[in-house]
C-alpha cells in the first residue's frame, strides 16, 4: 500500500514592506493578479477561464487594476508561454557586460522562432572546465507588446519572469541535505515547469514540458525520466532525492505518476495556493542572478518618473518660494520706501525745528552772557554791609566823617576817620582814645573780623606800593601843616576779607 509522507510545512518569507506592485501570473492562459501595497496584499483577481494572446494583456491588466483597486505604478509578470523556452549554454569565463553581450549573440543563434529574441539568463552549476548559464528565450515583439500594453494603462512593466525563476526559490525549502540534488516539477496551467538543483538554490537544469499530470501522467513520467537521464549524462550526478511535485492536482494524480515513474516521487512541503506564483514573484530580489526579460532601463523607469516628479515638485516649490520671496522683498522695499519718505519729511521738520532752536539758543546765550557780564562786573555788596555795621559799631562819642573802602585782590582795605561828638564841654584826654579803642574792638571782633593796622604797618604798606601820578600830584598840592591835628579827630586803617 502506497503511503504519502507528510512533511512539516516550511516557513515562507513575507513580501518586503517596501514593495508596492501589481503582480500577475499568466500561465498558459490562466491569468491571476495580486495587488500588494507596502508588503500587504490588498486585493486579488482571477480571470474566469483561460485567455491567451498578448493582444488581450491590456484589457486584462485594466480589469485587474479595477478589481483589485490597485493605485500603484508598477506591474510584474510571471510567464509560462508555449514560445518561452530554455537552453543550457556553455560560455567562456566572462562576467558583467561581456557575458551579457555573449548571451545576446547566443540568443539570436539558439532561438526556435522567427524574429528578434528577448533573452534573460541565470547562472547554472558549471563544470570544472566550462561555465554554464541557463538561457531563457522569448519573442521580442511579444515582449514589446506586453510592455506597451502596461504603459497604456499608466503602469510600468518592471519584470517579466519565467516560471522557473519563481520555482527556483522553492529549492531552498525542500528537506534536503547539503549537495543533494532533486527534481522539482510544478504544474503551470497545462504544462509542467521542471527545475533540477540543490537545496542552496543552485540550478543544474530548467525546462518546460508540454505535458501535465492533470492530463497525461504517463507521458510526463517519461519526460521526467529523460530529463533526469540528461542531467546524469551532462553533469555526471544522480538525482538522489527523487521528484517533488507541486501545484494543482498533485494529490489526486500522485499515485498514477508514482506508478509510471522510475524514481521516488514526493509531494512538495510548500503549500500551493491559487495566487502562489504572483505572490512569490514579489519576494524575489531582482538582480543579475534573476532572469528578467525587461531591460534595466525599463526597470528603472518608475524611479525615473518618481525622480522626475520629485524634481518637478522641488522645482515648483523653489519657484513658489522664489515668488513668495520676491513678493516679500517687493513689499519690504515698498515699506522701506514709505518709511524713508516719512523719515525724510520728519528730518526736514526736525532740521527746521533745529534751526529755530539754534536761533533761540543763540538769543538765550546772548542774554545769559549779558546777565553774566552784569553779575560778574557788579561790585560785591560789602561796602553797604560794612557801612550798615558802622551805624551800630561806632560809639555814641564818635562821629564818622569820612570812609574810604576799596578792594585789592581778595582783601578789602578801608580808611575810617572822624571826630568826637560835640557835647558843649571840653572832652577829657581819655575820651577819644577810649572811644576809638571800643570802635577798633568792635571792628576786630564783629562779623567782618577786621584787622586794624598800626602806624608802622600803614607806613610799610604805603612804602611797598609804587608811587602813582595821582599820589605825586597830591603831594605837590598838599601844604604842610603848621599846626598839629586837633586831638578831637581820629583815623583808622584796616583790612578785611
Q: What is the CATH number of the domain that holds 240?
A: 3.30.420.40
**Alpha-helix runs per DSSP H in 236-287:** 250-260, 276-281
How far is residue 445 from each of residues 164, 449, 455, 490, measured CA to CA in Å?
A: 140, 5, 20, 20
The answer as to whether 124 is a domain residue is: no
Q: Does residue 360 share a domain with residue 253?
A: no
Q: Does residue 423 share a domain with residue 356?
A: no
Q: Which residues pair with 193 in a beta bridge?
A: 186, 208
Is the separation of the CB atoms in 161 and 291 below 8 Å?
yes
What is the chain's Cα-based Rg? 66
The pLDDT of residue 314: 93
Say which residues have a Cβ less than 8 Å from residue 272's Cβ, sequence separation at least 6: 246, 247, 248, 250
**How far, in Å, CA of 346 to CA of 336, rounded?**
15
Q: Does residue 372 share a domain with residue 393?
A: no
How far is residue 4 from each of residues 1, 7, 225, 240, 254, measured CA to CA in Å?
A: 10, 9, 21, 18, 9
The pLDDT of residue 354: 93
Number of structural domains, the chain? 4
Say which residues have a Cβ less than 8 Å from residue 99's Cβ, sequence separation at least 6: 91, 133
Say which residues have a Cβ less than 8 Å from residue 493's Cβ, sequence separation at least 6: 413, 414, 415, 416, 452, 453, 458
How many residues are listed for the chain in this entry?
A: 497
**How far, in Å, CA of 212 to CA of 187, rounded?**
7
Q: Which residues pair with 22 in a beta bridge?
A: 35, 75
The answer as to whether 347 is a domain residue is: yes
The pLDDT of residue 325: 92
Closest residue by Cα to residue 83 from 52, 121, 49: 52
Q: Does residue 255 share a domain with residue 143?
A: no
How far is residue 209 from each of residues 4, 172, 195, 444, measured CA to CA in Å?
A: 25, 22, 11, 153
The pLDDT of residue 76: 93
Q: Does residue 317 share a domain with residue 237?
A: no
How far is residue 227 from each of residues 201, 219, 232, 243, measured CA to CA in Å?
A: 18, 12, 9, 11
How far is residue 388 from each of residues 384, 385, 393, 394, 448, measured CA to CA in Å?
A: 6, 5, 9, 11, 12
Question: Dihedrals φ, ψ of 356, to 5°?
Answer: -60, -45
**Cell triple for residue 95?**
562576467
Is the separation of the CB atoms in 417 and 400 below 8 Å?
yes
pLDDT tens digits for the chain (497 residues)?
233 333 444 545 678 888 899 999 999 889 999 999 988 999 999 999 888 888 999 999 999 999 999 998 999 999 998 888 888 888 887 788 888 888 888 878 877 778 888 888 888 887 666 788 888 889 999 999 999 999 999 999 999 999 988 888 888 888 888 878 888 999 988 889 998 888 888 888 888 888 888 888 888 888 888 888 888 887 778 887 788 899 888 888 888 888 877 778 889 888 889 899 999 998 888 877 788 888 888 878 877 878 888 999 999 999 999 999 999 999 999 999 999 999 999 999 999 999 999 999 999 999 888 887 777 666 677 888 888 888 888 888 888 888 888 888 778 888 889 888 877 666 666 888 888 888 888 888 888 888 888 766 655 655 555 554 444 444 444 444 433 444 678 888 998 87
Q: Does residue 457 share a domain with residue 320?
A: no
The pLDDT of residue 175: 86
Q: What share of the chain is helix, strand, coil (3-state, %, to 5)?
A: 45, 25, 30
378, 396, 411 - which closes a domain: 378
**How far, in Å, CA of 427 to CA of 421, rounded?**
9
Say which residues have a Cβ less than 8 Å from residue 393's Cβ, sequence separation at least 6: 439, 442, 443, 446
The answer as to whether 6 is a domain residue is: no
The pLDDT of residue 377: 65
The pLDDT of residue 12: 53
Is the separation of the CB atoms in 380 and 406 below 8 Å?
no
Count of other CB atoms within 10 angstroms of residue 117: 24
The pLDDT of residue 262: 77
The answer as to whether 127 is a domain residue is: no
Q: Does residue 410 share a domain with residue 452?
A: yes
How far is residue 86 from each of residues 135, 141, 187, measured CA to CA in Å?
A: 6, 18, 17
Closest residue by Cα to residue 122 from 174, 182, 166: 166
CA 200 to chain centroid, in Å, comes to 46
Q: Does residue 310 share a domain with residue 357?
A: yes
The pLDDT of residue 26: 92
**How far, in Å, CA of 194 to CA of 191, rounded?**
10
The answer as to whether 156 is a domain residue is: yes
Q: Which residues pair with 444 in a beta bridge?
A: none
The answer as to whether 32 is a domain residue is: yes
378, 401, 416 - which closes a domain: 378
The pLDDT of residue 478: 44
**How far, in Å, CA of 308 to CA of 155, rounded?**
16
Q: Sheet of 181-187: strands edge to edge?
A: 203-209, 192-198, 181-187, 243-246, 265-267
Q: Does residue 140 share a domain with residue 64?
A: yes
The answer as to whether 129 is a domain residue is: no
Q: What is the CATH number of the domain that holds 37?
A: 3.30.420
Q: Does residue 343 share a domain with residue 313?
A: yes
**Cell triple for residue 285?**
530580489
**How far, in Å, CA of 393 to CA of 447, rounded?**
11
The pLDDT of residue 6: 39
Range of the domain at 284: 12-116+135-170+274-299
Q: Does residue 208 share a domain with residue 338?
A: no
Is the separation of the CB atoms in 269 and 249 below 8 Å?
no
The answer as to whether 362 is a domain residue is: yes
**Cell triple for residue 316?**
515648483
Q: Does residue 292 share a domain with residue 221?
A: no
Amino acid at each position: 500500500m502506497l503511503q504519502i509522507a507528510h512533511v512539516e510545512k516550511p516557513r515562507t518569507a513575507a513580501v518586503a514592506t517596501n514593495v508596492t506592485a501589481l503582480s500577475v501570473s499568466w500561465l498558459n492562459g490562466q491569468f491571476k493578479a495580486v495587488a500588494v501595497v507596502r508588503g500587504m496584499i490588498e486585493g486579488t483577481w482571477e480571470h474566469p477561464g483561460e485567455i491567451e494572446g498578448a493582444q488581450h494583456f491590456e484589457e486584462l491588466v485594466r480589469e485587474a487594476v479595477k478589481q483589485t483597486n490597485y493605485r500603484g505604478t508598477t506591474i510584474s509578470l510571471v510567464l509560462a508561454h508555449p514560445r518561452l523556452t530554455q537552453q543550457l549554454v556553455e560560455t567562456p569565463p566572462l562576467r558583467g557586460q561581456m557575458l551579457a553581450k555573449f548571451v545576446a549573440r547566443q540568443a539570436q543563434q539558439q532561438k526556435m522562432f522567427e524574429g528578434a529574441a528577448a533573452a534573460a539568463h541565470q547562472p547554472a552549476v558549471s563544470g570544472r572546465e566550462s561555465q554554464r548559464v541557463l538561457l531563457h528565450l522569448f519573442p521580442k515583439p511579444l515582449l514589446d507588446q506586453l510592455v506597451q500594453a502596461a504603459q497604456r494603462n499608466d503602469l510600468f512593466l518592471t519584470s517579466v519572469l519565467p516560471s522557473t525563476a519563481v520555482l527556483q526559490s522553492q529549492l531552498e525549502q525542500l528537506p534536503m541535505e547539503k549537495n543533494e540534488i532533486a527534481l522539482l516539477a510544478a504544474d503551470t496551467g497545462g504544462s509542467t515547469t521542471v527545475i533540477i538543483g540543490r537545496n542552496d538554490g543552485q540550478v543544474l537544469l530548467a525546462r518546460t514540458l508540454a505535458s501535465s499530470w492533470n492530463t497525461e501522467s504517463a507521458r510526463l513520467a517519461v519526460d521526467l525520466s529523460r530529463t533526469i537521464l540528461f542531467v546524469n549524462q551532462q553533469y555526471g550526478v544522480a538525482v538522489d532525492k527523487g521528484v517533488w511535485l507541486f501545484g494543482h492536482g498533485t494529490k489526486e494524480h500522485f499515485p498514477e505518476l508514482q506508478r509510471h515513474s522510475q524514481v521516488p516521487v514526493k509531494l512538495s512541503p510548500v503549500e500551493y495556493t491559487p495566487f502562489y506564483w504572483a505572490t512569490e514573484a514579489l519576494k524575489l530580489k531582482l538582480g543579475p542572478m534573476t532572469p528578467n526579460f525587461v531591460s534595466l532601463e525599463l526597470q528603472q523607469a518608475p524611479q525615473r518618473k518618481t525622480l522626475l516628479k520629485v524634481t518637478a515638485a522641488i522645482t515648483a516649490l523653489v519657484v513658489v518660494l522664489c515668488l513668495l520671496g520676491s513678493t516679500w522683498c517687493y513689499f519690504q522695499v515698498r515699506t522701506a520706501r514709505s518709511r524713508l519718505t516719512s523719515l525724510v519729511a520728519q528730518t526736514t521738520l526736525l532740521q527746521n525745528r533745529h534751526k529755530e532752536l539754534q536761533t533761540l539758543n543763540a538769543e538765550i546765550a546772548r542774554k545769559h552772557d549779558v546777565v553774566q557780564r552784569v553779575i560778574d562786573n557788579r561790585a560785591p555788596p560789602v561796602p553797604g554791609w560794612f557801612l550798615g555795621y558802622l551805624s551800630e559799631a561806632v560809639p555814641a562819642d564818635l562821629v564818622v566823617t569820612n570812609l574810604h573802602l576799596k578792594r585789592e585782590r581778595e582783601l578789602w582795605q578801608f580808611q575810617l576817620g572822624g571826630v568826637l561828638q560835640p557835647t558843649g564841654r571840653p572832652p577829657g584826654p581819655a575820651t577819644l582814645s577810649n572811644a576809638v579803642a571800643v570802635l577798633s574792638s568792635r571792628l576786630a571782633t564783629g562779623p567782618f573780623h577786621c584787622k586794624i593796622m598800626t602806624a608802622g604797618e600803614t607806613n610799610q604798606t604805603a612804602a611797598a606800593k609804587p608811587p602813582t601820578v595821582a599820589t605825586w600830584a597830591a603831594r605837590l598840592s598838599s601844604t604842610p601843616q603848621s599846626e598839629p591835628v586837633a586831638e578831637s579827630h581820629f583815623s583808622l586803617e584796616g583790612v578785611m576779607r
